């Protein structure tokens, strides 16, 4: 088969727009499986391309693909947890379409809502591509889950092929490295090393020490398995804070650190929590943040939002308090009594206080009697954090069950409900298979000791743990398990504990924001509902965002006991907001007594509607193929002309498949248009060629050639679900599809060769 280029999106839209499948009973297991298989497939292809281009060996993992097999093939052991996490985020947002948009038929394409459905996908793709461009990968993941749902109109292979093509389109626009980052895979540790630094005048004594400490922290990790893949610097002052600066290069980062200067700040307290909020919203989940300051927080109203973000992102925040002042801060990482004071004397230098564990009681007195006090009489407490590196880790979330047209559970994005039962969803990462023998909630105060849950294996490394009660104070999640297999040494038992603490709440905060495209300069409303399972009264509302956008919201809502109330946050975006900006909005409700809060954290994408919707067009002009069965002796060549008509023009070209050399040059075509001429040469042992061309607006066109039919030997195993052999797999499945004629029509329209008989 010889083929030129074809439009990916049109296939998707046709698939999505015309099929009439209703959401029926049962959980969307098929959606989840389809998403996972498609992600594994495109990820492994991406890793293979990168390995080939870097001249590394690539061993294709055995099929069916598994996350751990793909991670191994990608040589990215450090990314196992973040890869699984990314898949879970995509799946959760896919599944959530069934729950939260149950009454919006457009999301299921089960009604005559073609145009609405089309907009959901085209706007969604725009949001994903622009978010990736600004490295807002979490926003891209969430949206990806949402828009893949309508593609998966049934559980056939066709749905998987459509998802793979969508992912190929996103991969093309992002480039291979950023596509892998979107799915949670990087070279080295996925974690960012993130410094939030006070740059006010009063830091002048300490700033050199801070530079020294930060530079040595950077150096200590370079070249180790813990080397961060990303470095983030957020300066804060008063009243200014930010911007957040990101780099993957440790030397660039050290230059930034070294060029930090101090000035201003006015009064004693500074905008530390604003800086921290920016870092929490911008760093990959599970990162480590170091905050350096010598002052109290002026923006203490952000405390709730900061705690919410720490809990949501499972980030570890280290407050590093320098200098000679007496101050009191409220720590986000401590226990029940969240007030604690430090008294730091002038005689102390380079005092680093790392608050990383579940610290119940800590007293530091100075100068004469420097005393540390962690009350450890309670032996059930994890007052000392044992930190180590291990591939085996776990993901966890509280879930809530729901009934309705599709039953199942949804991941809770905020604090679980106090006073009742609770269920945790856990996923083991970094091992092929394993068992959880015990999962417990360990309360910081020790009052309830360790509450063990009933563990149920769901398969695929997922487990549910059900608890009859939930601790009323702060707690951590602790688990014990056993890795299967005999390859590991003496013992296969392991024990892990969550790094931050959690708590339950009698409040719930929910929103019904539709997540659609919002343009720079627009104002929009985010409706929310606060419900209490406790006593009523006036509840304090706080809405904050990390981008400094103006917002209005009710400062309080009155709730009856066990009742609920609705409110609205209205946000105004600036006209100059760069497209792809993610606004992290935290809406927090606090009980009248102030001792209970809950929150909801939303990521809102600000994206310009593209003026260029035409994708680059590829015309293969010649193929020279002298291949013989002895493939290593010969080469083949493809020439192609690429154009982007009268729109933004071709921005970037890249090989997505093929181990060969690519050359390009630009010429003016007959109508004065720019034509990019491409010449590709490869060994006959590399029989596939797939080129991606991206225009200035992120529209993606492909060029595809293969000599597979001509060459009788191939160096690679056949791939069943990528576009290489889509025709075959689609056609095979036609036999099973009840709507055979419908699919055949589409395939013929798109230039596929249809081989199946209805």
* Positions that interact with Ca ion (CB under 5 A): 200, 202, 238, 265-267, 270, 295, 612, 614, 644, 647, 695, 699
| Binding-site partner at residue 521 among Ca ion, ligand NAG, none, CB < 5 to 8 Å by type | none
Cα 297 from Cα 170, distance rounded (Å): 41
**Cβ-Cβ contacts under 8 Å for 573 (sequence gap 6 or more):** 518, 519, 520, 521, 522, 523, 549, 583, 606
Output the DSSP codes for 16-56: HHH------SS--HHHHHHHHHHHHHHHHHHHHHHHHHTT-
Look-up of token digits 């100068």: 367
Strand runs labelled E in 488-555: 493-497, 507-511, 523-532, 537-545, 550-552
The terminus-to-terminus CA distance of the chain in angstroms comes to 21
CA distance 525 to 91: 27
For position 26 contacting ligand NAG by CB under 6 A, the verdict is no
Q: Which is nearer to ligand NAG, 208 or 522 (CB)?
A: 208
* 255 scored as a contact of ligand NAG (CB under 6 A): yes
Please tell me whether the peptide bond between 423 and the residue prior to it is cis, using omega within 30 degrees of 0: no
CB of 159 to ligand NAG, least distance (A): 31
In the bound state with Ca ion, the residue whose beta carbon lies nearer, of 30 and 325, is 325
Residue nearest to ligand NAG (CB): 420
* In the complex, minimum distance from the CB of residue 12 to Ca ion, in angstroms, rounded to a whole number: 18
* Inter-residue contact 105 to 113 (CB < 8 Å): yes
Strands 564-572 and 550-552: antiparallel
* Cα–Cα separations (whole angstroms), residue 678 to 116, 708, 754: 38, 21, 30
Does residue number 380 form part of the binding site for ligand NAG (CB under 6 A)? no
Q: 650 is in the binding site of which of Ca ion, ligand NAG, none (Cβ under 5 to 8 A by kind)? A: ligand NAG
Residue 392: which of ligand NAG, Ca ion, none does it interact with, CB under 5 to 8 A by kind?
none
Helix orientation angle between 114-133 and 157-174, rounded to the nearest 10 degrees? 40
Single residue of 204, 220, 258, 347 touching ligand NAG by CB under 6 A? 258
Among 596, 688, 695, 705, binds ligand NAG (CB under 6 A): 596
The answer to whether 659 contacts ligand NAG (rule: CB under 6 A) is: yes
| Edge-to-edge strand list for the sheet holding 660-668 | 617-625, 635-643, 674-683, 660-668
Name the segment binding ligand NAG (CB under 6 A); options: 59-67, 164-172, 231-239, 416-424. Answer: 416-424
Residue 204 binding ligand NAG, by CB under 6 A: no
Q: Does 595 bind ligand NAG (CB under 6 A)?
A: yes
When asked if residue 420 is in the footprint of ligand NAG (CB under 6 A), the reply is yes
Q: Rounded to the nearest whole angstrom, what is the least distance from the CB of residue 683 to ligand NAG in the complex?
A: 5
Residues 609, 126: contact at Cβ < 8 Å?
Answer: yes
Quick note: the x/- pattern for ligand NAG over 290-319, rule CB under 6 A, is ------------------------------
What residue 266 binds from ligand NAG, Ca ion, none (CB within 5 to 8 A, per partner kind)?
Ca ion
Query: Which one of residues 69, 548, 554, 696 is an interface residue with ligand NAG (CB under 6 A)?
Result: 548
CB of 361 to Ca ion, least distance (A): 29
Residue 630 or 738 with smaller CB distance to ligand NAG: 630
Q: What sections of 318-412 are H helices per DSSP?
A: none
Among the candidate windows 3-11, 146-154, 281-289, 358-366, which touches ligand NAG by CB under 6 A?
358-366
Candidate segments 94-102, 253-261, 284-292, 582-590, binder of ligand NAG by CB under 6 A: 253-261
Minimum distance of ligand NAG from residue 717's CB (angstroms): 13
Q: Select the binding partner of residue 619 from Ca ion, ligand NAG, none (C-beta < 5 to 8 A, by kind).
A: ligand NAG
Closer by beta carbon to ligand NAG, 385 or else 574? 574
**Whole-angstrom Cα distance, residue 601 to residue 226?**
29
- Judge contact between 444 and 358, C-beta under 8 A: yes
Phi-psi region of 47 (alpha: psi -120 to 50; beta: other; left: phi over 0): alpha
199 binds, among ligand NAG, Ca ion, none (CB under 5 to 8 A by kind): none
Three-state SS letters, 580-591: CEEEEEEEEEEC
Report how far residue 422's alpha carbon sits from residue 439's, in angstroms, rounded to the nearest whole number. Answer: 13
Letters for 447-466 (x = contact with ligand NAG by CB under 6 A, - = none) are -------------------x
**Range in contact with ligand NAG (rule: CB under 6 A) among 60-68, 125-133, 180-188, 667-675:** 667-675
664 binds ligand NAG (CB under 6 A): yes
Lookup: tokens for 463 = 């487990």
- Binding segment (CB under 6 A) for ligand NAG, from list 217-225, 424-432, 532-540, 719-727: 532-540
Single out the residue of 357, 414, 424, 423 nearest to residue 394, CA to CA.
424
Dihedral angle, C-alpha 210, 212, 218, 221, nearest 10 °: -120
Q: Using the rule CB under 6 A, is 612 a contact of ligand NAG? A: no
Cis, peptide link before residue 64, omega less than 30° from 0 = yes
Q: Which residues bind ligand NAG (CB under 6 A)?
A: 52, 58, 208-209, 212, 254-255, 258, 360-361, 363, 373, 375, 417, 419-421, 466, 533, 537-538, 548-550, 558, 572, 574, 593, 595-596, 614, 619, 621, 641, 645-646, 650, 652-653, 659, 664, 667, 669, 675-677, 683
């Amino acid at each position: 088969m010889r083929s030129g280029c074809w439009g990916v999106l049109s296939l998707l839209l046709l698939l999505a727009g015309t099929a009439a499948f209703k959401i029926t009973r049962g959980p969307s297991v098929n959606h989840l499986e389809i998403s996972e298989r498609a992600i594994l497939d495109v990820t492994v292809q991406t890793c293979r391309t990168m390995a080939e281009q870097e001249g590394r060996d690539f061993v294709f993992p055995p099929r069916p693909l598994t996350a751990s097999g793909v991670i191994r093939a990608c040589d990215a052991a450090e990314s196992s947890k973040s890869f699984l996490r990314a898949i879970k985020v995509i799946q959760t947002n896919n599944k959530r379409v069934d729950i939260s948009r149950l009454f919006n038929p457009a999301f299921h394409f089960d009604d005559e809502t073609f145009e609405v459905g089309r907009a959901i996908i085209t706007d969604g793709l725009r949001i994903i591509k622009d978010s990736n461009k600004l490295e807002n990968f979490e926003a891209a993941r969430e949206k990806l889950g949402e828009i893949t749902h309508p593609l998966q109109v049934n559980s056939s292979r066709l749905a998987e092929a459509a998802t793979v093509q969508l992912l190929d389109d996103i991969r093309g626009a992002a480039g291979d490295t950023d596509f892998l980052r979107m799915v949670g895979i990087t070279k080295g540790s996925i974690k960012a090393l993130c410094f939030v630094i006070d740059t006010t005048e009063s830091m002048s004594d300490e700033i050199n020490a801070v530079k020294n400490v930060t530079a040595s922290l950077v150096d200590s990790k370079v070249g180790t398995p813990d080397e961060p893949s990303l470095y983030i610097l957020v300066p804060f002052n008063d009243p200014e804070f930010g911007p957040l600066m990101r780099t993957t290069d440790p030397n660039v980062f050290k230059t930034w650190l070294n060029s930090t200067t101090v000035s201003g700040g006015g009064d004693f307290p500074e905008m530390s929590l604003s800086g921290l909020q920016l870092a929490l919203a911008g760093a990959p989940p599970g990162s480590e943040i170091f905050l350096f300051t010598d002052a109290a927080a002026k923006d203490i109203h952000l405390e709730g939002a900061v705690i919410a973000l720490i809990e949501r992102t499972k980030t570890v925040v280290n407050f590093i308090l320098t200098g000679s002042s007496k101050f009191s801060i409220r720590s986000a990482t401590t226990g029940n009594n969240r007030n604690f004071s430090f008294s730091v004397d002038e005689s102390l230098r380079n005092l680093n206080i790392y608050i990383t564990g579940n610290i119940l009681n800590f007293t530091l007195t100075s100068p004469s009697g420097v005393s540390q006090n962690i009350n450890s009489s309670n032996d059930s407490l994890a007052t000392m954090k044992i930190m180590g590196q291990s591939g085996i880790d776990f993901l966890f979330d509280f879930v809530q069950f729901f009934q309705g047209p599709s039953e199942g559970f949804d991941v809770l994005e905020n604090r679980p409900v106090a006073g009742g039962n609770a269920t945790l969803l856990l996923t083991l990462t970094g091992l092929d298979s394993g068992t959880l023998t015990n999962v417990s909630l360990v309360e910081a105060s020790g009052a309830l000791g360790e509450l063990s849950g009933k563990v149920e294996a769901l398969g695929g490394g997922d487990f549910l743990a059900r608890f009859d009660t939930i601790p009323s104070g702060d707690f951590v999640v602790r688990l014990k398990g056993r890795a299967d297999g005999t390859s590991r040494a003496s013992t296969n038992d392991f024990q892990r504990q969550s790094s931050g603490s959690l708590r339950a709440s009698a409040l719930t905060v929910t929103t019904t924001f539709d997540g659609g495209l919002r343009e720079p300069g627009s104002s929009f409303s985010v409706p929310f509902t606060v419900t209490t399972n406790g006593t009523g009264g006036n509840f304090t509302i706080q809405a904050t965002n990390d981008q400094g956008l103006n917002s209005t919201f009710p400062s309080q809502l009155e709730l009856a006991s066990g009742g609920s109330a609705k409110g609205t946050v209205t946000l105004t975006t600036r006209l100059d907001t760069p497209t792809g900006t993610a606004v992290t909005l935290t809406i927090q409700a606090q009980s009248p007594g102030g001792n209970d809060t809950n929150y909801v954290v939303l990521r809102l994408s600000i994206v310009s509607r593209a003026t260029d919707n035409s994708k680059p067009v590829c015309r293969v002009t010649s193929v020279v193929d002298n291949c013989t069965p002895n493939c290593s002796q010969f080469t083949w060549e493809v020439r192609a002309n690429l154009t982007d008509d009268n729109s933004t023009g071709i921005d970037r070209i890249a090989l997505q498949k093929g181990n060969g050399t690519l050359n390009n040059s630009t010429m003016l075509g007959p109508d004065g248009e720019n034509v990019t001429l491409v010449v590709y040469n490869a060994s006959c042992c590399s029989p596939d060629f797939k080129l991606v061309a991206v225009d200035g607006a992120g529209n993606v066109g492909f060029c595809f050639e293969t000599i597979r039919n001509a060459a009788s030997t191939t160096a690679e195993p056949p791939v069943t679900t990528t576009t290489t052999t889509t025709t075959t797999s689609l056609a095979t499945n036609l036999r099973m599809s009840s709507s055979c004629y419908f699919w055949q029509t589409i395939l013929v329209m798109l230039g596929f060769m249809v081989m199946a008989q209805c």
